[in-house]
Amino acid sequence: EIVLTQSPGTLSLSPGERATLSCRASQSVTSSYLAWYQQKPGQAPRLLIYAAASRAAGIPDRFSGSGSGTDFTLTISRLEPEDFAMYYCHQYGSPPRTFGQGTKVEIK
């Protein structure tokens, strides 16, 4: 099973700042089948990015994904108040599909 390790655990930033979240896989992720989700308290995860770099429908362009192999990054170019949340990476190329433990983006 592919283990996904996200860093940092918590990111303390101010609105308007840039956020860079990392996801490292224990093995190469097949065909860059790596997704990113946002989750707010009491809500279900929301798909942001799929196939490492493709934005899901309706996702603002301040969210971008990059990476391949074992190293992936989610970047939020300028944090909006509604972006403070948990973020999870997810690989779906090799069964069983697995999730990272999450990065919390909090207001500094």
Question: 41: cis peptide before it, omega within 30°?
Answer: no
By beta-carbon proximity to another protein, the closer residue of 77 and 94 is: 94
* Site for another protein, residues 48 to 107, rule: CB under 8 A: 50-51, 56-57, 88, 90, 92, 95-102
The Cα–Cα gap between 84 and 72 comes to 20
DSSP 23: E
Contact between 47 and another protein per CB under 8 A: yes
CA–CA gap between residue 8 and residue 44 (Å, rounded): 22
In this complex, which beta carbon is closest to another protein, that of residue 17 or of residue 56? 56
CA-based radius of gyration for the chain: 13
26-45 residues in contact with another protein (CB under 8 A) are 33, 35, 37, 43-45
CB of 19 to another protein, least distance (A): 20
d(CA 55, CA 51): 9
**Min CB(46)–another protein separation in Å:** 8
- Give the pairing type, strands 10-13 and 103-107: parallel
| Positions that interact with another protein (CB under 8 A) | 33, 35, 37, 43-47, 50-51, 56-57, 88, 90, 92, 95-102
